Chains A and B, each alone.
Chain A
Amino acid sequence: EVQLLESGGGLVQPGGSLRVSCAASGFTFSNYAMSWVRQAPGKGLEWVSAISGSGGSTYFADSVKGRFTISRDNSKKTLYLQMNSLRVEDTAVYYCAKSEWEILSIDYWGQGTLVTVSS
């Protein structure tokens, strides 16, 4: 059974940094691309970033490019999202998601971790 468990969310001040993680199990982690998707309170889903199985290719939404970094440690079966220069509008639940077909496709989702950017 595929399981994705996010952690690391919390309260951070505008301009600050935070790293969220996603521990994966139930599949061969290194064989699959992974993504981050966020959802601001009461709003729709927003694709944030994706990374290939090897980690050699990364993709970012224009809204986070240059501020966020995606990475993975295949030996630890863990996905990361490093968020710098955080803004109030980055406040959201951040979901980790697994890709099955195309790199940016999504089949399974974690339960999410809440990131709140506020002074």
Chain B
Amino acid sequence: SYELTQPPSVSVSPGQTARITCSGDALPKKNAYWYQQKSGQAPVLVIYEDSKRPSGIPERFSGSSSGTKATLTISGAQVEDEADYYCYSTDSSGNHGVFGTGTKVTVL
């Protein structure tokens, strides 16, 4: 079955840039979405269609995609950005959703 691979963890100091990658063979043709999930809470959409930011999401969150890799960038990370982050896309058929393995971001 199709898989999206993320690094298990990323650590940054406050104000620094965090980059989270998501690798999958279908990403050249399928959109990537990114979700932030804080402990005990439901996920929140932070990036859609590879690079678009929903209203209300801080500008420090940005997304890009090239080839088989999508990237979420947090520029000037804040302590409140500590959370698990998941990429999401579909397989090549478009009939199955797939979440990435998840990345725990630590800001300290």
Contacts and interface: CB of A to CB of B under 8 A. Distances in A.
B1 A47 contact: no
Nearest to A102: B31
Contact of A50 (B1, B97, B100, B102): B97
A110 B31 contact: no
Interface residues of B, number: 25
Contacts of A105: 31, 33, 48
A104 B97 contact: yes
Nearest to A6: B42
Determine which residue in B86, B94, B97 has the highest number of CB atoms from chain A within 10 A of its CB, and name it.
B97
Nearest to A44: B102
Interface string A45-75: 1110010000000010110000000000000
Contacts of B96: 47, 59, 61-62, 104
Interface of A: 35, 37, 44-47, 50, 59, 61-62, 95, 100-102, 104-112
28 contacts: A37-B99, A44-B86, A44-B99, A44-B101, A45-B37, A45-B43, A45-B86, A45-B88, A47-B96, A47-B97, A61-B97, A95-B42, A95-B43, A101-B48, A101-B49, A102-B31, A104-B95, A104-B96, A104-B97, A105-B48, A106-B33, A107-B48, A108-B45, A109-B42, A109-B43, A109-B44, A110-B42, A111-B42
